[in-house]
């Protein structure tokens, strides 16, 4: 039961009036406090994803409090906990900030761990709130054996179960974990610590809330006496500024001396919210500095005259792109994410450069010298955005002595060669060429882990396309619920940004039920995605690795994908449009003008692809040394 409210009201400071009602009670429930603090931590957040369970229902009830709904916050169900965490990860990346998923104890949080591990690997700022057994139940367990539902028994049948058994499982896949209790001062401090850490680390964290704790009365002035700040305790200090200036000056000195400098922008720039700062730096650089993007990044304007191509060792756009990068004398790698799907299976090579600078959110490495941004207590001296801003402000373009050595720029070639099989299916080369021609500036381009993802390197991106993937963790099926999350985010922002998903049939069968959420919430979504479902009857990328005809790489290929949204309750022509594209001729007839249909309805394209057909780059990468 919620606490009795005091009759006297509190007026927040003027600076906070835009964030809360003008009058709120002196005491509010802790559940309300948590929702309101989340809103302060990310004012853009309007959607909280959740799956109800008996241990989190008390907390979820406060999501309907007038104080919370006044903030525009809404609770959105996903079909299961795994999908919920994927959706929250997509939401976080699309809205560039904190997102939230709420599950129940045990069965809920365990189903979510895989998605949380994805968010940790892929740098998603997801707060996972878990409703747990009550404080009374936990206290009772200290003196007698009480086996409750959702909690596994102790190995020793004569011992009480461990209520923290699941909490112990998530230490390696989250950046912080805190449990709330009955001490309100501690609770408030823990909530802020969790929120701040997740925002700084861009990785998931946990808040475990016993089911009787949300009702505890909390002084509302705690929301305003200490406004929420995501900043590290070090940011802006003299020491932080000194380190920032030291590394900036060192990097600029090496750049000014270089005769053939190259800059590579990687995905951690975008995932840590520093895209604008990167754009500002690139605009100030002369065209004698060659520009490259990583496979995961694709966050540089590829129409710029000094953009060369995608570098990832043997998987680079082509051999000339690789050579122009690796034979530079100065390499500046910004937001570098070192993983084999992003560095060509560790075939990337920095050995020829006289000077190499790697800028990571946790450290800056200048040749063999490492400057730790992340301190021993986990707090950071400055952010990626702080660094790029400082670098741009201090940069004197006229001191860059390098002259332009190359005007080469990778231009993707249409590798589709007409053949008899064109009547049977649509090869992925055809789909690649379509996106090179018809992606638009500012598109949100979501690609699941699948054979098609290897061909994305060969797609030319127009300016400001945002590539979203989970390729490093590689959990297939991520992209369907992640697209639901991004769609919620884009709509919460009021944006008309085009949302495009490319999804394989094998991965989609893992999370396909989330397509029903697009139908369920159609009434609040003015902007819906374009879905390219590539149907090639199984795990085609695995077929290239081993067992091309083995049954373990097969799936049920009889799904009627173009009918799926209607099965989920949709009305074709009203909630969605669905098409089945059988071959090249039908592809050309449908997509010849490049138009992808009305965004007010979900556009679903089932494209029949070859069972063994893959982008040409797959074979190149598998044979490259």
CA distance 42 to 385: 17
Q: How many angstroms separate the CA atoms of 176 and 530, rounded?
A: 36
Q: Is 505 annotated as a binding residue?
A: yes
Burial 133-156 (b: 16+ CB within 10 A, else e): bebebbeebeeeeeeeebbeeeee
Dihedral-angle region of residue 621 (phi above 0 means left; psi in -120 to 50 means alpha; beta otherwise): alpha
Dihedral angle sign, alpha carbons of residues 25, 29, 34, 38: negative
Q: Is 538 annotated to bind ligand?
A: yes
Q: Which CA distances in Å does 138 have to 31, 70, 134, 143, 207?
A: 20, 34, 6, 10, 17
Three-class SS state of 344: coil
CA nearest to 125, candidates 52, 82, 68, 175 = 175
73-82: string of b/e by CB count within 10 Å (b at 16+)? bbbbebbbbb
Secondary structure of 458-482 in the HEC alphabet?
HCCCCCCCEEEECCCCCCCCCHHHH
- Give the Å distances, CA to CA, from 395 to 247, 253, 256, 291: 13, 10, 9, 17
Query: Judging by DSSP bridges, how do beta strands 444-447 and 369-372 pair with one another?
Result: unpaired
Annotated binding site: 505, 536, 538
Annotated binding site for Mg(2+): 505, 536, 538
């Amino acid at each position: 039961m919620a606490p009795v409210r005091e009759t006297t009201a509190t007026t927040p400071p003027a600076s906070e009036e835009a964030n809360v009602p003008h009058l709120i009670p002196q005491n509010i429930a802790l559940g309300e406090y948590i929702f309101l603090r989340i809103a302060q931590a990310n004012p853009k957040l309007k959607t909280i994803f959740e799956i109800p369970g008996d241990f989190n229902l008390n907390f979820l009830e406060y999501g309907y409090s007038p104080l919370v709904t006044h903030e525009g916050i809404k609770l959105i169900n996903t079909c299961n906990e795994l999908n919920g965490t994927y959706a929250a990860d997509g939401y976080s990346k699309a809205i560039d900030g904190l997102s939230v998923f709420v599950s129940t104890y045990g069965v809920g949080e365990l189903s979510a761990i895989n998605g949380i591990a994805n968010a940790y690997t892929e740098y998603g700022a997801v707060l996972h709130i878990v409703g747990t057994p009550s404080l009374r139940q936990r206290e009772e367990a200290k003196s007698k054996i009480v086996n409750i539902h959702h909690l596994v028994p102790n190995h020793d049948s004569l011992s009480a179960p461990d209520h923290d058994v699941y909490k112990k499982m998530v230490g390696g896949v989250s950046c912080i974990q805190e449990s709330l209790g009955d001490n309100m001062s501690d609770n408030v401090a823990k909530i802020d610590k969790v929120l701040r850490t997740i925002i700084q680390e861009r990785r998931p964290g946990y808040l475990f809330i016993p089911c009787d704790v949300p009702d505890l009365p909390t002084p509302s002035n705690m929301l305003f006496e200490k406004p929420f700040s995501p900043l590290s305790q070090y940011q802006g200090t003299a020491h932080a500024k000194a380190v920032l200036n030291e590394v900036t000056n060192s990097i600029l000195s090496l750049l000014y001396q270089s005769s053939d400098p190259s800059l590579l922008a990687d995905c951690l720039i975008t995932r840590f919210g520093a895209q604008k700062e990167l754009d500002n730096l690139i605009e100030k650089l002369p065209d004698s500095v060659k520009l490259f993007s990583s496979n995961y990044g694709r966050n540089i304007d590829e129409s710029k005259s000094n953009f060369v191509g995608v570098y990832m060792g043997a998987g680079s756009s082509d051999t000339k792109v690789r050579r122009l990068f690796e034979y530079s004398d100065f390499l500046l790698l910004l937001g570098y994410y070192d993983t084999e799907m992003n560095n060509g299976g560790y075939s990337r090579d920095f050995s020829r450069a006289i000077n190499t600078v790697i800028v990571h959110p946790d450290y800056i490495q200048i040749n063999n010298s490492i400057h730790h941004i992340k301190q021993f207590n986990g707090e950071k001296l400055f952010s990626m955005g702080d660094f790029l801003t400082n670098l741009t402000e201090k940069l004197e373009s006229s001191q860059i002595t390098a002259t332009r050595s190359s005007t080469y720029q990778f231009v993707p070639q249409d590798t589709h060669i007409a053949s008899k099989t064109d009547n049977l299916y649509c090869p992925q080369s055809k789909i690649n060429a379509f996106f090179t021609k018809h992606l638009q500036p500012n598109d949100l381009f979501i690609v699941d882990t699948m054979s098609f993802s290897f061909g994305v390197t060969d797609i030319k991106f127009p300016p400001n396309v945002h590539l979203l993937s989970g390729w490093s963790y590689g959990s297939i099926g991520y992209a369907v619920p992640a697209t639901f999350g991004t769609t919620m985010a884009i709509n919460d922002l009021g944006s008309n940004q085009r949302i495009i998903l490319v999804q394989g049939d094998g991965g989609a069968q893992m999370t396909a039920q989330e397509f029903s959420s697009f139908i369920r919430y159609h009434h609040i979504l003015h902007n819906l995605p374009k879905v390219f479902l590539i149907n090639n009857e199984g795990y085609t990328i695995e077929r290239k690795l081993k067992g091309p005809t083995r049954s373990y790489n097969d799936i049920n290929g009889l799904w009627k994908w173009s009918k799926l949204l209607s099965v989920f309750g949709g009305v074709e022509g009203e909630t969605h449009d669905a098409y089945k594209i059988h071959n090249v001729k039908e592809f050309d007839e449908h997509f010849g003008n490049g138009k992808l249909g009305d965004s007010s309805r979900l556009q679903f394209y089932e494209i029949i692809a070859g069972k063994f057909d893959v982008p040409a780059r797959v074979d190149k990468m598998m044979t490259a040394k």
